[in-house]
Amino acid sequence: MTVVEPATFQFVSFDAALIGRIADDLVDALGIDRPVHVVVDETTPLGRVRIEIGDVITIHAESGAFEDSKRPREQSEVSTTASLGRALLRARDRLTGGFGEAPADGELSLRQVSAWETYSVGRLERLGVPVNQQRWRYNFRNRHGFTDLADLAFDRIWSADGLTWGELESISTAGSAEGAAA
């Protein structure tokens, strides 16, 4: 069962039990093989999420990642699901093989991050999580270029399952300005 910190929030109206339930459902749906710990930083409205993988998967999320943008300081179930889902898929990719060559999270370029996010969100959509594909296409274009080549790469990554890091990186590079020049 997922542990959530803090158990009670001071700056935002978030529900730790709801976060825990969403994480548990995702752990089941994604076949994660180890316990998950979610630590929320409620002092910042930013939405960065980072993961630590050991015997336990620890997800460090800033409060903006779980927030309802329409109602500041309130929690959005959809945003919580999407943010935790992306983090857990990234953790699962690293744990299940094929991603051994991937740089550590802090060393990924913005282009690589956007490609991996695209790969994760595409899979979440097929699991039934509501996502706005155009939002992620826009993010991908910002990192790869506003070109037909970038859009083709996005479509391939979005609809893919079972990619290795090498395959993901190869499609992403081909869709970027560097790939176009090569």
Binding site residues, another protein, CB under 8 A: 8, 10-12, 41-48, 63, 69-73, 110, 113, 132-139, 141-142, 145-146
Helices (H) and strands (E) in the chain, counts: 7, 4
Are 90 and 124 in contact, with CB atoms under 8 Å apart?
A: no
Residue 114: CB partners within 8 Å, gap ≥ 6? Answer: 139, 140, 142, 143, 144, 172
User: From the CB of 46, what's the least distance to another protein, in Å?
Assistant: 6
Nearer to another protein, 20 or 47 (CB): 47
Token pair of 21 as six digits? 């339930």
Whose Cβ is closer to another protein: residue 32's or residue 119's? 119
Least Å from the CB of residue 45 to another protein: 4
Query: Smallest distance, Å, CB 132 to another protein?
Result: 5
Of the pair 136, 165, the CB lying nearest another protein is at 136
